């Protein structure tokens, strides 16, 4: 695909049902939204894409009422038939993959290939959910009482509230919805105010599927706005589960608020992901993975590689190889597939990048690559920066924090215990990796004495995850799990059932209560 012109973008927006002014509140076929409009600007060239109306309190109440009504219908449709609806949504995504992938790239700034990959994740999770719709298994247990049978079953929760981040403006939403839908839940989604047009596009695709199946409004709902709309959701006792993706600061607010009303929260928060490189590693194989992990999505993935922990004997060689590889990176329009790195999301992200590099120097680190903001033709948005590598120590304050930018911190270690201690020596616990040809080193890293992250890889990077495994992290990453494995249980409530089919009524634990 060649560089997308403004005319091409207008055609893509039209294909996705995007207008110059869009309703940012939707319950399905019903569109409304009476709040002020917000305009989405692309970081590619700074131009306006489109606007959406925001959700007022009155709009929000209509959404919840419609979602509540839809839930009463949706939960009574057999799970395999709900799976059939999700299958159709996956097929609709296949038809719109190129257009939606291009919109993701244009609105968020990731490369076109990454935009396509994000839509493919949506398709994959739909496929996974279809099979899962026939596998919502419960257990059977032997009762201690004669003439009794015990088992457990799973029921839907109700309304699932989804708050998503700008860096994956469509995939993470669908990780939640595909599973929630087959579980029998309905969903209310607040996209990031930095990427609201992607949310409108996904809702438009869903509406076509819903109409074709004569489904009621409210199974998928869209609300737009700033943090105040998120507050409506997190404080609402009618929403039993809030799934929120974003910063640790945001997650702590959401978690405390939802816990205060004894609701459930699924939190996917910050990462400070490290790769350990041992002398047993195959450098030729791993360098591309390291570079992609650090600069892919311009370092704006929660799984981006932030820290590189290299053995003393090879740190200079690894660093020199990386610096050479960074010198070959092409930075520019992410819809031009000859480029490796696109823009940061906005000027605030650029300032965070500059501030982090300044802090590195203040704390005694050394920036060993060219760095800074790019200017001139093709960089008019002011959001393009040069990926940077810095030599640091793990205890530096700035290294302990997550900066959503393409900055890679390099440090050395003496033995594997030291490396693992450094890997674990941050407050985040999302993704981690070790590069080694030694089975002993690999197994130590994966053991209870190894990585403390929710994701631990061997000979692949920290970035990128398949939907078959549960995705999420520990510590201040929030502890949530989305996507594959048994993550579906977060969207349902467990019920234990005991049936007495005998003619007596014995009590548990042999208790006697004669009257």
Active-site residues, by number, are 268, 302
Cα separation values, 153 from 72, 160, 177, 465, 470, Å: 19, 19, 21, 30, 21
Cα separation values, 408 from 161, 404, 492, Å: 34, 11, 39
CA angle, 202 then 51 then 45, to 5°? 95
Task: Judge whether 299 and 349 are in contact, CB under 8 Å.
Answer: no
Burial status of residue 69 (CB atoms within 10 A of its CB: 0-12, 13-18, 19 or more)? middle
Strands 148-156 and 492-500: antiparallel
What is the rounded CA–CA span in Å between residue 97 and residue 101? 6
Q: How many Cβ atoms sit within 10 Å of the Cβ of residue 150? A: 15
Residues sharing a CB contact under 8 Å with residue 351, sequence separation 6 or more, in sequence order: none
Reduced 3-state DSSP string for 181-235: HHHCCEEEEECCCCCHHHHHHHHHHHHHHHHHCCCCCCCEEECCCCHHHHHHHHC
Q: How many Cβ atoms sit within 10 Å of the Cβ of residue 301? A: 23
- Evaluated on CA atoms 215, 219, 225, 231, the torsion sign reads positive
What is the rounded CA–CA span in Å between residue 358 and residue 286? 29
Closest CA to 295 of 304, 303, 286, 287: 304
What radius of gyration do the chain's Cα atoms show?
Answer: 24
Residues sharing a CB contact under 8 Å with residue 106, sequence separation 6 or more, in sequence order: 4, 9, 12, 42, 44, 49, 334, 335
User: What is the DSSP secondary structure assignment for residue 506, as one 8-state letter?
Assistant: P
Greatest C-alpha distance within the chain: 91
Task: Specify the residue for token string 């030694």.
Answer: 438
Q: Where are the beta strands (DSSP E) in 355-512?
A: 366-367, 372-373, 385-386, 388-391, 407-413, 428-429, 431-435, 455-458, 470-471, 474-475, 482-483, 492-500
């Amino acid at each position: 695909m060649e560089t997308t012109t403004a005319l091409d973008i207008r055609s893509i927006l039209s294909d996705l049902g995007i207008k110059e002014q869009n309703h940012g509140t939707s319950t399905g076929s019903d569109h409304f939204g009476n709040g002020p409009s917000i305009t989405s600007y692309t970081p590619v060239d700074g131009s306006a894409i489109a606007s959406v109306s925001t959700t007022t309190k009155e709009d929000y109440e209509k959404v919840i009422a419609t979602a509540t009504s839809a839930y009463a219908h949706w939960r009574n449709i057999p799970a395999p038939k709900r799976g059939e609806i999700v299958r159709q949504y996956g097929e609709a995504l296949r038809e719109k993959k190129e257009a939606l992938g291009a919109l993701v790239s244009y609105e968020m700034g990731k490369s076109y290939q990454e935009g396509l990959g994000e839509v493919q994740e949506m398709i994959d999770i739909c496929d996974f959910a279809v099979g899962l719709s026939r596998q919502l298994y419960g257990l059977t247990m032997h009762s201690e009482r004669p003439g009794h049978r015990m088992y457990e079953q799973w029921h839907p929760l109700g309304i699932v509230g989804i708050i998503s981040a700008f860096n994956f403006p469509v995939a993470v939403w669908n990780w939640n919805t595909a599973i929630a839908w087959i579980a029998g839940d309905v969903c209310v989604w607040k996209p990031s105010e930095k990427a609201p047009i992607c949310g409108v596009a996904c809702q438009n695709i869903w509406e076509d599927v819903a109409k074709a199946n004569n489904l009621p409004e409210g199974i998928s709902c869209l609300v737009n706005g700033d943090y105040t709309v998120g507050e409506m959701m997190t404080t609402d006792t009618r929403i039993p589960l809030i799934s929120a993706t974003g910063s640790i600061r945001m997650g702590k607010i959401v978690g405390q608020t939802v816990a205060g009303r004894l609701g459930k929260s699924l939190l996917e928060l910050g990462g400070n992901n490290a790769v350990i490189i041992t002398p047993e590693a195959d450098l030729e194989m791993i360098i591309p993975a390291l570079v992609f992990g650090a600069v892919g999505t311009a370092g704006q993935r929660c799984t981006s590689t932030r820290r590189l922990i290299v053995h003393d004997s090879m740190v200079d060689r690894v660093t020199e190889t990386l610096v050479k590889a960074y010198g070959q990176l092409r930075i520019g329009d992410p819809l031009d597939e000859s480029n490796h790195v696109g823009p940061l999301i906005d000027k605030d992200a650029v300032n965070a990048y500059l501030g982090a590099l300044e802090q590195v120097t203040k704390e005694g680190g050394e920036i060993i690559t060219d760095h800074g903001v790019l200017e001139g033709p093709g960089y008019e948005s002011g959001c393009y920066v040069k990926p940077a590598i810095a030599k640091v120590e793990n205890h530096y304050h700035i290294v302990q924090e997550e900066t959503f930018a393409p900055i890679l911190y390099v440090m050395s270690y003496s033995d594997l215990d030291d490396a693992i201690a450094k890997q674990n020596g941050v407050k985040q616990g999302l993704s981690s990796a070790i590069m080694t040809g030694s089975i002993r080193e690999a197994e130590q890293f994966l053991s209870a004495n190894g990585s403390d992250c929710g994701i631990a890889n061997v000979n692949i990077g920290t970035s990128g995850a398949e939907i078959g495994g549960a995705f999420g992290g520990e510590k201040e990453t929030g502890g949530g799990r989305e996507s594959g494995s048994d993550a579906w249980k977060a969207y349902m409530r467990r019920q234990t059932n005991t049936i007495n089919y005998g003619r007596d009524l014995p009590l548990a634990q042999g208790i006697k209560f004669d009257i």
